[in-house]
Amino acid sequence: MAQPTMPANDAPAPPPAQALVLDFGGVISRTLFETHALTERALGLAPGTLAWRGPFDPAGDALWRDMQAGLISERDYWLARTREVGRLVGEDWTSMAQFVVRARGADPAAVIRPEAIAAVEAAARVGKRLAILSNELDLFYGADFRRKLPLLARFELIVDATYSGVLKPDARAYAAVTKGLGLPAAACVFVDDQPRNVLGARAAGMVAVDFDVTRPAASYAQAMRALAL
Mean pLDDT of the chain: 92
pLDDT at 96: 87
Helices and strands in the chain, H and E counts: 11, 5
pLDDT at 179 exceeding the cut of 80 = yes
Q: How many CB atoms lie within 10 A of CB 136?
A: 18
- Which of these, 194, 220, 169, lies nearest to 78 by C-alpha position? 194
Q: What are the boundaries of each domain within the chain? A: 19-29+112-226, 36-108
Average pLDDT rounded to a whole number, residues 202-212: 98
pLDDT at 1: 44
Whole-number percent of the chain with pLDDT over 90 = 77
Contact (CB, 8 A) for 54 and 64: yes
CATH for 19-29+112-226 is 3.40.50.1000
Query: What is the rounded distance in angstroms from the CA atom of residue 173 to the CA atom of residue 180?
Result: 11
pLDDT at 74 exceeding the cut of 70 = yes
What are 17-66's pLDDT values in tens digits? 999 999 999 999 999 999 999 999 999 999 999 999 999 999 999 999 99
pLDDT at 7 exceeding the cut of 70 = no
- What's phi and psi for 3, nearest 5 deg? -75, 140
Burial 52-91 (b: 16+ CB within 10 A, else e): bbbbeeeeebebbeebbeeeeebbebbbebbbebbeeeee
* 15 confidence band (pLDDT: 50, 70, 90): confident
**133 bridge partner residues:** 159
| Element containing residue 40 per DSSP (H, E) | helix 36-43
Q: What one-character DSSP code corresponds to residue 35?
A: T
pLDDT at 105: 67
What are 106-126's pLDDT values in tens digits? 678 888 999 999 999 999 999
pLDDT at 158 exceeding the cut of 90 = yes
pLDDT at 14: 72
- Which of these, 105, 98, 117, lies nearest to 146 by C-alpha position? 105
pTM: 0.87
pLDDT at 6: 43
Distance of CA 28 to the CA centre of its chain: 6
pLDDT at 9 exceeding the cut of 80 = no
